[in-house]
Amino acid sequence: MSAIFGIVNLDGSPVPSAHLEAMKHAMASWGPDGATTWSEGPVGLGQLLMYNTPESLNESLPLSNAGGDVVLTAAARIDNRQDLFRQLDLPPSERVGLPDSALILRAYEKWGTGCVSRLLGDWSVALWDARRRQLFLARDHFGVTGLYFYQGDRTFVFASCRSGLFSLDDVPRRLNRLRVPGDDLPSQDGSHGHYEAIGRLTVAQAMTVATTGTKSWTYWTPEDAPEIRLGSDREYLEAFMEIYTEAVRCRLRSHRPVATMLSGGLDSGSIATLAAQALAERGDRLSAFTAVPMYDVAQATPRGRSGNESKNAQAICDFAGNIDLTFIRGVTRTPVEAIKEAQRVLLSPHGIAIIVWYLELLETAQAQGFGAILDGWGGNLTVSWTGNRQRYLASLLRDRRWREYAREINAKRGVHPSPLWRTAADAVTPLIGPSLTELARRAARRDLVGRDSRRLLGKHTGSPPTHPEVTKARNPELQHFFRFGSGLNSTLDSFGAAFDLEIRIPAMDKRVIEFCQGIPLDQFCRDGRDRLLVKRAMSGLMPDGVVWDNKRGLQAADSSHRVRADATETAKTLTALEESHLVRQYVDLPRLRHTFEKICSSPEADTRHDTSMLLRGIGYAMFLQTFDDE
């Protein structure tokens, strides 16, 4: 994805060209195909270009309208071009080769700031409207593109990544001690993430900036999705497949070849299947990348999970007939090396174990000449959502459908054998009401996360934020992500840019989200089974052994093995971290070292959870270490 940046001097002083050049230089990796700037008086805009669609070859940004009073810069891939062509009444002669950024400018001229609700795809946009003397910023519905900003007394600066902001002397790089070592996301009170003065537009958020003040608003939420009621299961399935297929197909529009990640599960597997079908129609093949362990993980994999999904991935490829599979074993980086590299890319802490494979996968895709990667991320919130089973059972009770209720309880035990007490709990829990059930579950999860974090990261760790809109939502997991997880998906944009790639997420297409939000719960969970929507949709398109496999994939299953294999490097890292006064203040280093020693001394034990917390602790500690000079 391309990147954007800009400056508005609120005191009216001209923007120095050197400031725009500094931002452009700091963000150079985002623009393999060029970089341009524009300035006029107190406003300066810029773009770093990566050709991501055939039409992007015609792009020249920043772009002015015919009157010269609106100037736009954008990083965008618009997926509903044909709809917009019709709504804007553009003649066919103007449609061919029209860049997506020019389409956004046309939409703004017709609908103003309300245009953002009509744009589908991955995009971030900045427009200077000289008529209103204001800057308009917005970010897409899912927030794949990042957009950070700093507002001082005299200036407002924005960029697709933090490095662009920190290239300017006027932008402070200060640790937000109120959020250490919490997640890098805005809190409920509006405070910032890891950096004290740096803000970020969250998912589906827009903002205007003028000398009279700054205003921000959320222009869409998943809960806005209208209720969908059709006549039969078949109609729901047909409607879903039409939407999901289009969400995949529109993301195959690319200047360079598109590949896909393939874990062997339902999310990435269904995306790979639909992409392969679309490519087969034009005689092309699809390349897929699957992360596999380097060590034998059979003993470390718990019951009901799969630590090595290579067989499922290969089965999906063989069934499709036109998918070429490459296994990624994560051999080019140690866990500590991968964490350091991720921090350099993001300028924020990162300690997720899968990063070892993820960076190698992107590096391999870049070397093979791909320009975009399809990712199944977020599918468990939409297409393969398990369904809010407790709420579904509660609805059966509320409607006095006693027989269906009893059948569901018994069917669940038949599909997933469980002790009698668990079956009884399933039967009784809905009686206290779905919202209370969800609240209790969320509270238990917060306590677990908080306790585990404090075990390694000390007393300063807080629990993840929550909100009544989350606990009362039809899909609490999706709503929680929407409100608080916007930083997670924008990291995909940054990682992609580091390897000249665009990460594309079909399962979080707005149309897919709204459909999955609007249909009845029994389309997801029924007859004792869950994730029924995508399972029924993929039946016959993917191997039955994959579609109906009750095992769930286990990412980074051999992470403990890797920590033990690189014990010397990890021990040196911990010793170096002990020299940092900030790390000593915020991280419980004795517990961190004890956890490391436990992993090394227990090769036969299941220490995946300990390893996860160790790597997360190291990631936070490394980030804190960079602020020692404050």
- Which pLDDT tens digit goes with each residue over 273-315? 999 999 999 999 999 999 999 998 887 777 778 888 999 999 9
Residues 559 and 612: beta-carbon distance below 8 Å: yes
Give the pLDDT confidence score for residue 177 in this predicted structure: 81
Same domain, 320 and 272: yes
What is the model's pLDDT at position 479?
76
Say how many domains are in the chain.
Answer: 3
DSSP H/E element including 294:
none
Whether residue 256 sits in one domain with residue 191: no
Same-domain check for residues 21 and 123: yes
> Does 521 lie in the same domain as 579?
no
19-32: per-residue pLDDT in tens? 999 999 999 999 99
> Do 301 and 262 reside in the same domain of the chain?
yes
Same domain, residue pair 155 and 268? no
pLDDT at 7 over 80: yes
Total H helices, total E strands in the chain: 25, 19
The 10 Å Cβ neighbour count of residue 263 is 24
Does pLDDT of 192 surpass 80?
Answer: no
Query: Bridge partners of 159?
Result: 5, 148
Predicted pLDDT of residue 451: 39
Count Cα neighbours of 221 within 13 Å in the Cβ-side half-sphere. Answer: 17
Q: Rounded distance, CA 503 to CA 492, Å?
A: 6
Specify whether 96 is located in the same domain as 169.
yes
Contact of 611 with 560, CB cutoff 8 Å: yes
Indicate whether 46 belongs to any domain. Answer: yes
CA 476/CA 435 separation, integer angstroms: 10
Least confident of 65-69, 336-340, 422-426: 422-426
Question: Which CATH number does the domain housing residue 305 bear?
Answer: 3.40.50.620
Which residue type is seen at 413?
A: R
Residue 341: its pLDDT value, please?
96
The answer to whether position 533 is within a domain reads yes
Q: How confident is the model at residue 253 (pLDDT cuts 50, 70, 90)?
A: very high
CATH code for the domain of 22: 3.60.20.10
Band the pLDDT of 430: cuts 50, 70, 90. low
Distances (CA, A) of 414 to 311, 408, 528: 26, 10, 7
Residue 446: inside a domain: no
Q: Tell me whether residue 434 is in a domain.
A: no
Q: Tokens 């999310």 — which residue? A: 267
Question: What is d(CA 51, CA 372) in angstroms, rounded to the nearest whole number?
Answer: 10
Residues 483 and 579 in one domain: no
Instruction: For residues 423-438, give the mean pLDDT.
Output: 53
pLDDT tens-digit readout, 45-103: 999 999 999 999 999 999 999 999 999 999 999 999 999 999 999 999 999 999 999 99
Q: What is the model's pLDDT at position 428?
A: 60
194 vs 360 pLDDT, higher one: 360
Q: Is 435 part of a structural domain of the chain?
A: no
pTM given for the model: 0.89
As a residue count, the chain comes to: 630
CA–CA separation, 373 and 496 (whole Å): 9
Cβ within 8 Å of residue 424, ≥6 positions away: none
In a domain, 587, yes or no: yes
State how far the Cα of 613 lies from the Cα of 458, in Å rounded to an integer: 12
Please report the DSSP string for 305-327 in residue order: EES--HHHHHHHHHHHSSEEEEE
DSSP category for residue 30: G
* Calpha distance 312→328 (Å, rounded): 15
468 has pLDDT over 70: no
Of 493, 520, 553, the position where a domain reaches its end is: 553
Look up residue 370 and give its DSSP letter: -
88 with 187, same domain: the answer is: yes
Type of residue found at 186: P
Q: Report yes or no on 351 lying in a domain.
A: yes
Domain boundary among 533, 553, 573: 553
Q: How confident is the model at residue 261 (pLDDT cuts 50, 70, 90)?
A: very high
Does one domain contain both 378 and 233?
A: yes
Segment among 312-321, 325-334, 369-378, 489-498 with least mean pLDDT: 489-498
Residues 331 and 253 in one domain: yes
Residues 213 and 140 in one domain: yes
The whole-number average pLDDT for the span 320-335 is 97
Is the pLDDT at 126 greater than 60? The verdict is: yes
Task: Say if residue 405's pLDDT is above 80.
Answer: no
Q: What is the mean pLDDT of residues 512-518?
A: 95
pLDDT at residue number 390 = 67
Res. 452 pLDDT band, cuts 50 70 90: very low
pLDDT of residue 27: 97
Q: Find the domain containing 300 and state its range.
A: 224-383+474-553
Please check whether residue 565 lies inside any domain of the structure. Answer: yes
Where is the domain boundary, 195, 220, 245? Answer: 220
CA distance 78 to 88: 14
Residues near 610 by Cβ (< 8 Å), separated by ≥ 6? 560, 595, 598, 599
The mean pLDDT of the chain is 87
